[in-house]
């Protein structure tokens, strides 16, 4: 039986503090799977440098020189975590039967990678790594994550709760993923749309080995808004519904004001007038902002710009055949004048 070629894709952004340990532990997992004859000997680790400003890329190239199973993909600048993952998946797809994506911080349990591969052998195209609990998170992060998944579910977006980007995908699943050409990449929402056979593997997330998370509160909010705006028009419909309700209320209030005037019972109402102006003004700005968010997404999508640019690709070079030049084959050189 032909063993599957596995590539483990690891997006990196300023991860010099943790990379040495990440190299060591993922190499150990890869070698163990090879010894068990669960994957082919040509399986690789692909580290994607997403425009790091520290020694991340130099560490990857040094490790590649010492251990050929470790390869690298350097993006021309920082394109963001999701696009770095996508770049790795697309690069690995050409030479792999299955690909696993995992962050470099070692918080995801690398021991369940073996379970991922076993599920792939059972015939599953997509295997999601799902956190069994969120005990290691702060109260705020647990509450915000729970609210995020509830909102996503209510507005009709299919997500795998407590799943980030720790997953296995088969070659045909990645090829299907590549057909989704949107610039606003939100893999947690796109992958469940693909279909095919899927399953889950539960694990406990660990504390970060070193360094600190690159996802600030601002980035997390931006990520959540990107996911909502990329997959649902419910917010726009909500604004339309609120506008309709306020229209009814204003008609009733206008009728009431006219009746009061006819009966001569009108009184000065500065407070109510100010409250109405501020409320309606704020609501209008909110509506314009939501609609503007969608228009901004359309503006970005219609340009059809590339999602990322690759500077250096150490991964694909390893699979390219050595080309022999005509001169090395004994062909005659260009005649001199």
Question: What pLDDT, in 10s, does the model give residues 142-169?
Answer: 776 677 667 777 766 677 778 888 999 9
CA–CA separation, 12 and 122 (whole Å): 31
Sheet holding 6-12, edge to edge: 198-203, 126-131, 163-170, 98-101, 6-12, 44-49, 70-75, 310-313
Give the relative orientation of helices 217-231 and 187-194 as an angle to the nearest 10 degrees: 40
Q: Where does residue 172 rank: exposed (0-12), middle (13-18), buried (19+ CB within 10 A)?
A: middle
Domain limits, the chain: 6-214+306-317, 234-302
* Amino acid 279: pLDDT: 67
CA–CA separation, 98 and 92 (whole Å): 9
* Amino acid 158: pLDDT: 76
**Distances from the Cα of 123 to the Cα of 46, 89, 134, 183, 334, angstroms:** 24, 20, 29, 31, 55
State both tokens at 86: 């996508």
Whether the Cβ atoms of residue 297 and residue 230 lie closer than 8 Å to each other: yes
User: What are the E-state strand segments in 140-268?
Assistant: 163-170, 198-203
pLDDT digits (tens, 9 = 90+) for 206-233: 775 555 655 555 666 666 666 665 656 5
* Amino acid 71: pLDDT: 92
Whether the Cβ atoms of residue 185 and residue 177 lie closer than 8 Å to each other: no
Looking up tokens 């696993």 gives 100
Fold of 6-214+306-317: Spore Coat Polysaccharide Biosynthesis Protein SpsA; Chain A (3.90.550)
Residue 135 main-chain phi, psi, to 5 deg: -65, -30
* Amino acid 244: pLDDT: 65
Q: State which residues of the chain have pLDDT below 50.
A: 322-337
């Amino acid at each position: 039986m032909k063993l599957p070629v596995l590539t483990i894709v690891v997006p990196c952004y300023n991860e010099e503090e943790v990379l040495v340990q990440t190299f060591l532990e993922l190499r150990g997992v890869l070698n163990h799977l090879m010894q068990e004859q669960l994957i082919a000997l040509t399986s690789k680790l692909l580290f994607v440098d997403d425009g790091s400003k520290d020694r991340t890329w130099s560490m990857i190239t040094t490790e590649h020189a010492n251990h050929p199973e470790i390869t690298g993909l350097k993006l021309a600048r920082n394109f963001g975590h999701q696009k770095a993952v996508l770049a790795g998946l697309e690069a690995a797809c050409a030479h792999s039967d299955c690909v696993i994506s995992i962050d470099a911080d070692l918080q995801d349990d690398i021991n369940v990678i073996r379970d991922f591969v076993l599920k792939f052998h059972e015939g599953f195209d997509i295997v999601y790594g799902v956190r069994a609990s969120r005990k290691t998170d702060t109260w705020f992060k647990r509450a915000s994550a729970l609210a995020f998944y509830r909102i996503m579910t209510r507005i009709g977006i299919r997500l795998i709760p407590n799943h980030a980007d720790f997953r296995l995908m088969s070659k045909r699943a990645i090829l299907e993923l590549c057909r989704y050409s949107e610039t606003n990449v939100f893999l947690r929402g796109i992958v469940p749309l693909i279909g095919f056979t899927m399953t889950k593997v539960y694990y406990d997330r660990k504390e970060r080995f070193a360094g600190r998370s690159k996802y600030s509160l601002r980035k997390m909010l931006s990520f959540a808004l990107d996911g909502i705006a990329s997959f649902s028009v419910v917010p726009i419909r909500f604004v339309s519904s609120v506008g309709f309700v306020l229209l009814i209320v204003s008609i009733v209030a206008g009728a009431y004001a006219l009746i009061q005037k006819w009966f001569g019972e009108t009184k000065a109402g500065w407070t109510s007038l100010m409250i109405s102006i501020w409320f309606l003004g704020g609501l209008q700005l909110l509506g314009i902002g939501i609609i503007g968010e969608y228009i901004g997404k359309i503006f970005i999508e219609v340009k059809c710009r590339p999602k990322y640019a690759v500077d250096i690709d150490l991964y694909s070079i390893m699979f390219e055949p050595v080309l022999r030049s005509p001169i090395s084959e004994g062909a005659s050189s260009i005649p001199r004048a």
